Structure 1
Amino acid sequence: MRSEVLAFVADGPLPDWDASEEEIDRRARQLGAIAKPVTGGEARALAACFGPDDCYGLAWTLLHLIETGPNPVLTDDPGPGADEWVQRLYDRAVCGGLIPGAMAAGG
């Protein structure tokens, strides 16, 4: 796994909207330093880094980065208690025809 991905993953999930501007900027720089495409292992590791909200759009950036890797990252429905971003990754794979499955209610 590349050092840029390891550094991002080591810092844990994205912060929420209450994080400082400096923290959000730092995480944005970390994401921007990860060259596309990511590997399957990197994509799986990055999928564990979603935070409690969209972190001023960084969650979308993370989702799109993950999707540059071999798809699908998730092959099983993460279930009703899953993080909304993990569920979104799964739903997008289903909608894209990458895996069979039923969309989550309301999706």
Structure 2
Amino acid sequence: MRPEVRTFVADGPLPDWDASEEEIGRRVRQLEAIARPVTGEEARALVACFGPDDCYGVAWSLLHLIETASCPVLTADPGPEANEWHRRLHGRTADQGPVG
């Protein structure tokens, strides 16, 4: 796993809307430092970084980054109690149909 991905993952889930501008800006810079595409391993690690809300759109950037992996990350339905971003990522993968 590349150092940029390890750094982003090590800082944990994205903050919520109550975070400071500095914190959100720092996470945006970390995310932007990750070159596309990501590997399957990196995408699986990044899935754990979704926070409780969209973090002023940063969660969408994270979702799009994860989708650059060559293989779908969430192939099994995460269930109704899962984080909304996990459900969204799975739904977008399921909507694409079979890969290959």
Q: TM-score range by the shorter chain?
A: over 0.9
Identity of aligned residues (%): 73
- The 3-state SS of whatever aligns with 1:77 is coil
Residue 71 (structure 1) shift: 2.5
Aligned to 1:32: 32
Q: What's 1:7 paired with?
A: 7
* TM-aligned CA deviation for residue 79 of structure 1: 0.5
Q: How many residues are paired up?
A: 99
Alignment pair present for 1:89 and 2:89: yes
User: CA separation in 2, counterparts of 1:87 and 1:55?
Assistant: 17
Q: Distance in 2 between matches of 1:54 and 1:70?
A: 24
For structure 2, the 5+ residue unaligned runs are none
Give the structure-1-normalised TM-score.
0.90
TM norm structure 2: 0.96
Alpha-carbon offset, residue 70 of structure 1: 1.8
Q: In the TM superposition, what is the alpha-carbon distance from 1:75 to its structure 2 partner?
A: 1.2
Computed over aligned residues only, the root mean square deviation of the Cα atoms, in angstroms, reads: 0.9
Higher RCO (C-alpha under 8 Å, 6+ residues apart): 2
Structure 1 stretches of at least 4 aligned residues deviating more than 6 Å after TM superposition: none
Q: 1:25 to 1:98 in 2, by over 3 A?
A: farther
